[in-house]
Structure formats: C-alpha cells, structure tokens
Structure 1
Amino acid sequence: MKTKFYIIQIAILLLGLIFGILAFDCYESGKWITALLFLCLSVFMIILNIRNAQQSGKETEQILQAINHKDFSLFPDKKQNDPLKQKAVDLYYQEKEKNTDVLSFKILYENILNQLDIGIMILKENTNDWEVFYSNPKFIEILKVPKYNRWSLYEEKSPEFFKLIKDTDYRESQDFMEVSINQAGFQTYSLRTTRLETPREDFCIISLESVQKIIERKEKMAWNNLMKVISHELLNTLTPINSLIRNMEYITDQEEISRDDQEEIKESLKIVNNKSEQLLNFINNYRQVAELPKPKLQKISIRPVIEKVLRLMESEFQNKSITVSTNIRDYMVMADEKMLERSLINLLTNALHAVEDLDNGKIKINTDQQNTRTVIQVEDNGIGISDQISDKIFLPFFTTRNSGSGIGLTLTKSIMEAHNGYINFRKQQQGSIFELWFT
C-alpha cells in the first residue's frame, strides 16, 4: 500500500512534468492550441496531486482530532493508501479499543459501587475547587438530597455534612454524623474520608456506613466465633465420655464381670469424672465473662495495686528466673481495685508464659498519663504475637497453651470496657506490649 501510494503520486507528478515539457515544445513550434492543451493537462495533474495530498492530510487531521477529543464515532477504512493516514488510522483503532476497555471497567466498577450497602461519594479537585466525580445511590438515599454534579450545592442541602468534609481539608479522617431517618429519630453513621493523589488528578473518597450495621456485623462475627469455640470444647469433652459409657454398658451386659473388666470400669469412671470437671471448669470460666459484676468504682491509687500484684507473683518470677523492672508513676483512677488486680494478674501471667523459655526473660511495667487518660503498660521480650492469631487473642477460650483457659484477655477486655476504658496491644520487634487505658 505504501509503495502504491508513492508510485501514484510520482506518476501524477511525472505526467504533469511531461505535459509541461510537451506544452513548451509545442509553444516553441508555434502550435498554440496544442501547447495550451498540454499546459492545461500539466496544471490539472499538479492540482490533482496537491488536492490528493490535501485531502489525505485533512482526513488524517480529522482522525487525529477525533483521538484527541475521545470521539470514536468514526469508522475509517482499516487499509489506507497514504502511509501517514494509515498510521493515524491504526492509532485511532488502538485508542478506540483502549477506550472501550476503560468504559467496560468503568461500567463494571460503577455497578459494583451501586450495589454496596455503604454510601460512597468521590470528589475530584478542579482548579483549587472540588466537583462531584461519582456518588452511588446509597449515598443519595442516606443524605436524602438530589444528585448534584457541583459540590458547592451540598452546602445548602446538607450543611452539616458539607462542613464535616470541608473541616477535614479533604484528607484522611474519621468522624461520626447523625442523619434524620424520620421525624422522631436519628441514625448515626461512620464518616470516613481518604485522599487519593494520582499523577494527573486528586480525589477525595467519602464513605458513609451505618454504625448500627457495623455493630451488628461485629456482634454476629463474635457470636459465630464463640459458638465455634463452645462447640469444639463440648465435642472434645462429650465424645470420649459417650464412648466410655457405651463401653461400660457393653461390659455390664456380660453375665460375669471379670476383675480386668472391673478395673476398666473404674478407669473409665475416673476419666468420665475428669472430663466432667473439665466441662464444669469451662462453664464456670464462661460465667466469669458472661456474668461479670458491675464494678464498684472509687478513686484509687494505681501504684499500691501494681506493687501488691507483683508481690503476689514474685515467687513465680523467681522460680523461672524472670527479671521484672518497673517505671511506675502514681496516678489516681476511677476503678474497682479487685477487678484491676485481676486484670494485672492476667496480663503478667501471659507475659510470664511468653518469656518462660528464654534465658533472659524480661518483663517491664510502666505507667503514664496522656492528656486525661492513664495507661498501665506490661511489656515483655517473649515470642510475640503472630499476624495469624492477632485478631483472635481477645476471643473467649482462645489460647495457644495446652493448660490455658483462654479467658484471661477476654475477661480483662470486659473489665476495661466496664470501666469505660479499653485494652490495647502492640507488637514489637521482640515481644509485645499490652496496655490498660483508663479515662
């Protein structure tokens, strides 16, 4: 195609040149009419060549402009004689295919976002201002406002929401807002904003999710996890009991019971008794968590409580050659002293088991105050907490020790929540830190 185009162009030019020479020759010979005819043919060939070049250039420019404006409504032939136009056509169809892929993904992503039960709005920065790039139906349903393209219009329709977003400076944040659901009440929503910076444009992603649904989802997950643990414990206890009882039934059905059978019955009864005690301990441990009494809050000094617990556990630390260091500043907190003691014993017991196999096991207790909150920290240099179990350590009856009950951290968490505080843990390069936070 490329060669053919150039041959045609050259042929037209040569014909124009030949006709020009013939016109000149006829002019010299005095053949005026023939000279004029050849001159017209020469001019025609030159004009034809120029028009072909102009037409091809115009069509090439039109295709390039279509690519530039993302207008893919043209359908040029995929085979062109002009090599430059051919390249433009190839580029056009490449960009058209890319644009089709982008549109397909856009439709897919919009459909996914439209199905979410979370309100999503995406703002795009435009010359130091913001415009609405996208908002899903759930977002419009929550705010009960029309779907605007101009961000500034939301200031009038939903001023509280607009102010919350503006105060974040369109950057990473988390807050709560109340939305009227009817004339009688409100519903609380978790409001999150995230800044996304791309090489060409900046976006602010806003999400609104019902706090009630978040709580329900977490409660359901906690309940399912608890049922798994309880089912596992019951099966592990009742399955061998059931097997032993069937075996004893078989023995007692015999006409005569030998001495060996009698010994086997005695051994089976001991195992049944042992398993029954395990099940009772399991139930009692569950009751400790489920029936936690209301704390008797009073203003207490935390230093004497910590020192008392350390004295109680001193012999255990010495037996395992564990070094305990303290950096205790005395602070006053509103707490139930007995419950605080129990929480500290749980954390120190866990720290002890984490370092008991080390030659240089160390436990450190710190106290600090940040703003109006008081914190007690128990730090160890033990094996630490792996990522695989970090989200399970506060679940009831979850334990990594064969002799553990799995309620220590769960009970401590419940105690701290009853004190309007919380328990937190942080992983270190070696070991971990558990913190009790009081208001």
Structure 2
Amino acid sequence: MLTQRFTWLIVIRVLILTAVLGILLWIWGDVRLFFTQIILVIVIIAILAELIRFVNTSNREMARFLFAIRHGDLSVNFKYRPLGSSFLLLQQQMTELADAYRNVKIEKEAQYQLLQALVDRISVGIIILTEDNVTLINGTAQRLLNVGTSQDWKLIRQQNPAFTEQLIELGDEGRKLIEVQAPTGNRMISTDVATMLILGRPSKLITLQDINAEIEQKELEAWHKLIRILTHEIMNSITPIASLTETMQGMLTNGDGTRKLASKLNDETVADILFSLNTIHVRSEGLLDFVENYRKLTRVPKPNFAPVDLNGFVASVHKLMEDTAQRSGVTFNARYTRTDIKPSFDAALIQQVLINLISNAVYATEEVTLRRVQLSAFVQDKQLIFEVTDTGKGIPVHLLREIFVPFYSTRTDGSGIGLSLSKQIVSSHRGNITVHSTPGEGTTFTVALPVAR
C-alpha cells in the first residue's frame, strides 16, 4: 500500500512535469508568449525541485528509520515532523514499525531480565564461556569460586588456578568432581562441561554444584552403618568371652573371694573350665578374623592397568568357576560379545570381583529349582560391561542399600566384606557397580569400567 502510494505520487509529478514541458515546447519560439515561456520554465524548475525534495525526503526518513532500528534507538519518532500530507502514510507506517520494534525489544529485555534473575537464584553455578570470554556467570558460580562480582575469565583463572586447570583438562565435554579452596574450608564441586554452537561460535556451558553437604551426609551415614555393624560383631564376640571369664572366676574362687586350692577342684569343674577356655579361644579367633577382614577393606591394592584380551579373560573366569558351580548343581555360562574396544584394567583385581559376584550368585540359587548363573561381557557407550545374572530368590528392596555396607551379609557363612571390597576395587578403576533384583525372579550385578577405543 505504502509503495503504491509513493509510486503514484512520483508518477503524478512526472506527468505534470511532462505536460508543462510539452506546452513549453509547443509555444517555444513565439515571441508573443515570451513571458509565458519564462513562467513555464520557472514552473518546470519548481516541479523538478519539488520532485527532488520529495524523493530526498523519503530517502532521509527511510534512512533515519533504518538507522534507528540498526542502533536500537527506541526514542525515534515520526509523528510530529511537518513533512506534508504526502508523507502522512509513510510516517504512519514507519511509526507503527518503530513502535512494534520497541515493544518487541522491551519484551525481549523483560524476558532477559527474568531469565537473568532466575539464573541468579538457582543453586547451581552457571558459566558460559565463549573464546575465553565470560558471556554469563551467575551469583552462585561467583560465590563458589570466590570471585566477587567479577566476569573476567583471566581474573577467575588467577584466583582459582587449580580449579581452572582441571576444568581445561575436561576439554569440550566431561564431568568431574573438583575440590575448590574457600575461606570456610575446601569444598567439593561437581563440574559438568558441555559445548554448543551459539551464532556459529562454540561456547562452553559450565555448571557447578556444591555437593559438600551431600558428601558429608553420605559419609556420616556410612560411618553410622559401619559403627553399628562393628559394634554388633565385636559385642557378639566380647559378650560370651566376658561371661565365660566371669564364670571361670567363680569356679576358681571361694565365696569370700579367696582362691580355691587345686585339690578342691573336681573333674567336672576342670572340664567346665576347659570348655570355657576353648569357647573363648574360638571367639577370639573369630574376632581376629573379623579384624583381619577389616584390614583387607582398608588396604585395597592400587590397580595395575594393562591391556587385557577380553576373550581370554572371560574364558579364564569361566574355567575357574565352572567346577564350583557344577558341584553345587548350578549351570554356569559365560558369554563375550567381541568389539574393537581394547580395555585396560587390572585383570587380577577384576577377576577377584567377578569370582565374588559369581560365588554369591551360586549361593543365591540354593532354594530354587532352576539354578542358572550367566556371566556376560560387552561394550556399551564406551564402557566395558560385566553382568552376573542368577535365577535365585532375589534380594528384597529394603536390603538393596545395605548389601554394599562393610560386614553386612545375608549369607550365614559370609564375612560381609566381599561386595564392599568389590565396590572399592571397581571404584579404583573409575567404574561403578550396581545391582538390579526382582524378588522371586533373580538378581543382576553390573560392573561398568571405562575403556579407550
């Protein structure tokens, strides 16, 4: 509509100019119309000047409008400039466009302010880093890194060199638990790095979460569980020892507390004393075994990483446990899915883990008819997965969180350190061990280890 009106206004002016020019040419040379000719020339000049002014004014207004839009000038106004009725529609359209742009920008600014307030209030630290320039950092991240209100990445690196070095080691993608020094004490920060493209430029999204309280809570819960079990085991051994010692003292002393003569001890009393001493010896050995098992938990050897032939490794585990399973009436199978992944781990330690899991699986099938245990090895999401699955009675849900606690065991002949030791070994390989169980159907233990292609 606006373009058509502008075109018609130009066409009308050109037509008027052409008509006047035609009249001038028609009467040109007639001396009787000399003054008319001069008037027509003046009119032509006036029309040309007005046409040029009209076009230039349109161009200037359009340039002013575009300049204002380009530089975000929200104060631009086209309503009160006296440009004549010819420009009313143009001014109206540009004013409406400017108002629309202003409203959009105000809305976007309001949304940005809302987003900024939201980002500042969440408990997770957020940093967006584009080519070593911090484009966004919220208050939580500033508090965790103790950098005040600074948004200068160089200053952040100077104040937290150890943290930023480990952050750089993560590269474009990764997750790591990093210790950060703070005035109130060191804090454990769960750090996650992801890279994304924003306007064609790679930007790192870094999220920081203080998990110090969670770690302390978990450690406290673990200590409570360990102390409870330690107290239970020690009391089980110390109580009968103390009771039998008191009983023997009563056998060897008179009512007034004086020592009995050996001649007054009969065969029955001697037999009771020997029985008590034997019981104390057995309980003492049990207590020594318990302490030795505790020492094993606190002295897990460091893994000796080396490339492992998975086919031979799985075959060796199968050969080691096959006879044990057969003697217990359990069908034991092992399966390995070949891939081009070449893992590196301590074969002896991981073999110890798998042997412990398979032994537990064999025990779990004692009360069922279909007794099967399956060892599977495969690679998934750049992780080497070992699965030990049984068809046993399963583990009740309320016990799943307890089975990895040291000295906790559901077996009558168990020491309660097998799964705890296995978890420590897997953790030393930067892996994890999980369990999934359905009561009445069976249990699957999964060991996941990181590997390199």
Which range, TM-score by smaller chain?
0.5 to 0.7
1:311 matched residue in structure 2:
324
* 2:318/2:333 contact within 8 Å kept: no
> Which of 401, 411, 435 is matched with 2:447 structurally?
435
* 2:361/2:373 contact within 8 Å kept: no
> Where in structure 2 are the equivalents of 1:111-130 lying within 5 Å?
111-125=117-131, 130=132
Give, in whole Å, the separation in 1 of the partners of 2:171 and 2:346. Answer: 40
* 1:174/1:191 contact within 8 Å kept: yes
Give, in whole Å, the separation in 2 of the partners of 1:381 and 1:131. Answer: 54
1:275 matched residue in structure 2:
none
1:54 matched residue in structure 2:
56
Q: CA deviation at 1:305?
A: 13
Structure 1 pair 32–311 and aligned structure 2 pair: CA distance change class (3 A): same
TM-score normalised by L of structure 2: 0.54
Structure 1 pair 426–100 and aligned structure 2 pair: CA distance change class (3 A): farther
2:192 matched residue in structure 1:
192
Name structure 2 gaps, 5 residues minimum.
80-84, 223-290, 302-315, 337-344, 379-383, 407-418, 427-431, 437-442
Give, in whole Å, the separation in 2 of the partners of 1:330 and 1:412. Answer: 24
Give, in whole Å, the separation in 1 of the partners of 2:201 and 2:365. Answer: 49
Give, in whole Å, the separation in 1 of the partners of 2:23 and 2:373. Answer: 109
Give, in whole Å, the separation in 1 of the partners of 2:102 and 2:366. Answer: 66
* 2:377/2:387 contact within 8 Å kept: yes
> Where in structure 2 are the equivalents of 1:58-77 lying within 5 Å?
58-76=60-78
* 1:188/1:211 contact within 8 Å kept: yes
1:295 corresponds to which letter in structure 2? Y
* 1:177/1:191 contact within 8 Å kept: no
1:363 matched residue in structure 2:
374
2:18 matched residue in structure 1:
17
* 1:189/1:209 contact within 8 Å kept: yes
1:37 matched residue in structure 2:
39
1:252 matched residue in structure 2:
none
* 2:362/2:390 contact within 8 Å kept: no
Q: CA deviation at 1:45?
A: 1.2
Percent identity of equivalent pairs: 14
* 1:4/1:81 contact within 8 Å kept: no
> Which of 325, 333, 337 is matched with 1:324 structurally?
333
Q: CA deviation at 1:133?
A: 0.3
Q: CA deviation at 1:204?
A: 0.9
> Where in structure 2 are the equivalents of 1:3-402 lying within 5 Å?
3-25=4-26, 27-30=28-31, 31-76=33-78, 96=102, 98-125=104-131, 130-182=132-184, 185-215=185-215, 295-297=294-296, 311=324, 314-315=327-328, 317=330, 322-325=331-334, 332-333=348-349, 344-348=358-362, 363-364=374-375, 377-380=386-389
CA deviations on 1:196-219 (whole Å, 9 max, x unpaired) are 223522211222222213436879
> Which of 408, 414, 430 is matched with 2:405 structurally?
414
Higher-Rg structure is 2
SS at match of 2:109: helix
CA deviations on 1:301-324 (whole Å, 9 max, x unpaired) are xx999957973685453xxxx453
Q: CA deviation at 1:7?
A: 3.3
Structure 1 pair 148–4 and aligned structure 2 pair: CA distance change class (3 A): same
* 1:424/1:436 contact within 8 Å kept: yes
1:18 corresponds to which letter in structure 2? A
* 1:294/1:418 contact within 8 Å kept: no
Give, in whole Å, the separation in 2 of the partners of 1:32 and 1:353. Answer: 130
Paired residue total: 323
Give, in whole Å, the separation in 1 of the partners of 2:97 and 2:390. Answer: 62
Give, in whole Å, the separation in 2 of the partners of 1:80 and 1:94. Answer: 23
Give, in whole Å, the separation in 2 of the partners of 1:165 and 1:148. Answer: 18
Q: CA deviation at 1:145?
A: 2.0
Give, in whole Å, the separation in 2 of the partners of 1:351 and 1:63. Answer: 82
2:187 corresponds to which letter in structure 1? Q
* 2:328/2:362 contact within 8 Å kept: no
4+ runs deviating over 6 angstroms:
82-91, 216-222, 303-306, 339-342, 349-355
